[in-house]
Amino acid sequence: MNRENFIDTMNKILKADYGKSMERASAQEKYHAAAKSIMAFIAEDWYHTEVNYEKGKQAYYLSAEFLMGRAFSNNLINLGIYEDVKEVLESMGIEIHGLEEAEEDAGLGNGGLGRLAACFLDSCATMNLPVTGYGIRYRYGIFKQRFEKGFQREEGDPWLRWGDPWSLRRIEDRVTVDFSDGSVQAIPYDMAILGYDTKNVNKLRLWQAEPITEVDFQLFNEQKYDEAVKEKNRAEDISRILYPNDSKKEGKILRLKQQYFFVSASLQDMVRKYKLLHEGSFEVFDQYHAIQLNDTHPVVAIPELMRILVDQEGLAWDKAWSVTVKTFAYTNHTILAEALEQWDCMVYRKLLPRVYQIIQQIDKRFVAELKKQNYSNEKIEKMRIFANKRIRMAWLAIHGCHTTNGVAALHTKILIEQELRDWYKLYPDRFQNKTNGVTPRRWLLLSNPELSELITELLGTKDWIRDLGRLKDLEKYADKQEAMQRFIEIKEAKKRQLAAYIYQREGIEIDPNSIFDIQIKRLHEYKRQMLNAFHILDLYYRLKENPQLDIQPRTFIFGAKAAPGYFRAKAVIKLIHEIAKRINNDPAVNHKIKVVFVQNYGISYAEKLFPAADVSEQISTAGKEASGTGNMKFMLNGTPTLGTYDGANVEIVEEAGEENNFIFGARVEEIETIKAHYDPKVYYESVPGLKRVIDALVDGTLDDDGTGMFRELYQSILEGASWHKADHYFICRDFDDYRKAQEKVDKDYRLPLNWARKCWMNLANSGKFSTDRTIAEYAKEIWHIEPRKI
């Protein structure tokens, strides 16, 4: 990097964009100038990468979410110029930390699904693979979370209010997307995706919805101002907010519009480029395109490609279907029946009539295929794409894709043997497993530079950053006191940093010398934040009964957002806050235990939380978590898992050893055996302390401000509520096992070097959980693409 050029470019951008000198510019303006200077630095490589990738087959990753996180530091690290830029900025009197904090988190995702997509893009670029991401450029993202009297409150998250220096508006590539009630423009914004130690620059293309006509001039002239911009507002609604509430018909229509909008725009984009680069028939379209559907949100791409091939490009149905199946692959991210997306036929038929007709034809032909194979009418009804006036998107995906993959070994096993057993029998060659991963660049190199430096020193190389399996060589240091002592010192430093950050953000003081017990993930019943809360309340009661109870001081840290319409998840947030209020304000116990629920948990907060954790809470009901990736980020930073035998926890234990983790609770096989006759009241009455904590929901101990939230939680456990049976997620069954596992954590933590060894063995055996490994498997076994380095 040329120092003088960088300074000169920054100065020119500040004057051109803001009319300011470096001395007068705000931190926000300096950040934008620095970011745009980096964009200028990579522009030539980005151009050559695009040209290079056009020569052969490419993969396209379609996802409703891309939870990217801040780009500035990550990009500087991947380019290998972080220290250079830091020094240049310091010579100008600018502290790089101030610029890092000026960047908004890109509000393009919600949870693990979106973060996985972001990690995948990092690995694709790092491995020089020709892969483009496609999604929506949400203006407000999911929402900004704040707490008011312990209740979650949602606010708009205007992450684009200052613009986005990492994206280029490519209006020349705009396309039109048609709905039955009108058309909108899809405007692409290209976000640069930088790989580590490579000149290749990949692309995430995000679509923004805009009207065909900005304003109806006639209506405006008639002073009908609202009507004059009605088309503009309805168009912009499509890319306004990630996952709008769909509890009413209007919300459902908007969600379907979002899905079809980005899918149709993306396919039109691919078709346009195909016509520019390849003369001749679309019969070989699949030889140049591999499209991965990230969960069911983009599955409408299957009938949409059929519409394009049949209606616009003139292919016969059978040939078009063959090309479509060979083009698409589908990733299943869930075992939960309620999360296998289904759509009301009437919504599809009204909004997308031609797409609906094509799905009908796909279903009709599929039924005929099953009849030919002598399937019973009962089995056909179970498997057909249409059922009870609804379209089953997961079924459409499995039938319309050449590959369906699960995201962890246990998850795929459950899909094949239970949830998708009939489909596996029909298409045994279509099923694969691709265990998820995380990128070590963001989740170790960026988040934990102190530990990264120690790893590089001990291994004598930085090769581990691109080949995480090299961490296995660290095992030999697990019994060396000097190495373990240095690891302990790093963990202590990260805990102090987190404590300072929490005090700055939340105004809450926590003890860095306490055990940091952390559960950070989306708020959902199956993830069982309520089990964690019940244990904390039980510990509180035991401390009140016996103030001399010998426990290690512990800080319980939660971070999670509940979907705006998810009443019970919001009740759990309120419950944790009520427990925190009781504990944190009680001087008899608050020197031993403390509870913190951080606000607006997101990527930037996560980068502080993962490296500082002593305990990784992964306590979902066995068989419910498809994989998890938070568990991998904790492991990568040297944190043992306290968890059930679920999702990728199974493989974490296989790699690092059960002796270095804390596994508890009923396993999948036991749950399958007991669930038909399960009675939580047996445990409620017999497990010491359990009745007391459950009763606290309704006996006046805890206050839900008259909302009825806690009564509903109580009923969901002991009686059943909504569509759930009583204690649907087996909290009562696992409560005592969980408490015993927590007691073992307390006991083992008292031996610092032994504890450090557990942590170190997790770190040393985390190599499998790199997205580089996952993506290499996708590229070879599903997409059939090769690296193309510029």
Q: What is the DSSP string of 651-705?
A: HHHHHH-GGGSEE-S--HHHHHHHGGG--HHHHHHHSTTHHHHHHTTTSSSS--T
Catalytic residue among 137, 297, 333, 535: 333
Helical (H) or strand (E) element with 292: strand 289-294
Q: Give the whole-angstrom CA distance, residue 310 versus residue 333.
A: 30
- Under DSSP, is residue 152 helix (H, G, I), strand (E, B) or coil? strand
Residue 327 is among the residues annotated as catalytic for this protein:
no
Beta strands at 342-344 and 515-520: parallel, antiparallel or unpaired:
unpaired
Q: Catalytic pick from 555, 621, 629, 641?
A: 629
Residue 712's contacts (CB-CB under 8 Å, 6 or more residues apart) are: 567, 568, 571, 721
CA distance 13 to 26: 13
Q: Is 633 among the catalytic positions?
A: yes
Alpha carbon distances (Å) from 35 to 23, 203, 445, 555, 595: 18, 17, 20, 37, 38
Going by C-alpha positions, the residue among 368, 179, 311 that lies closest to residue 256 is 179
Exposure string of 111-150, with b = 16+ CB inside 10 Å and e = fewer, is: bbbbbbbbbbbbbbbbbbbbbbbbbbbbbbbbbbbebeeb
Q: What gap in Å lies between CA 195 and CA 439, rounded to an integer? A: 11
Q: Which two tokens stand for residue 149?
A: 């009297």
Q: Is 527 a catalytic residue?
A: yes
d(CA 520, CA 369): 46
Among 32, 522, 568, 577, the one annotated catalytic: 522
The amino acid occupying position 97 is H
Q: Which of 240, 257, 624, 633 is catalytic?
A: 633
Please state, in angstroms and as integers, the Cα–Cα distance from residue 588 to each residue in 273, 539, 746, following that order: 68, 13, 20
Long-range contacts: 157-164, Cβ < 8 Å, 24+? 157/107, 159/104, 159/105, 159/106, 159/107, 160/104, 160/107, 161/104, 162/28, 162/32, 162/104, 163/32, 164/106, 164/189, 164/191
Task: Give the whole-angstrom CA distance, residue 405 versus residue 408.
Answer: 9
> How far apart are the C-alpha atoms of 257 and 64, rounded to whole Å?
12
Q: Of these residues, 392, 521, 524, 758, which one is catalytic?
A: 521
Q: CA–CA separation, 559 vs 145, rounded Å?
A: 11
Q: Is 629 a catalytic residue?
A: yes
**Which of 527, 568, 624, 739 does the annotation list as catalytic?**
527
What is the DSSP-derived secondary structure letter of residue 419? I
521 in catalytic set: yes
Q: Which residues are catalytic?
A: 333, 521-522, 527, 629, 633
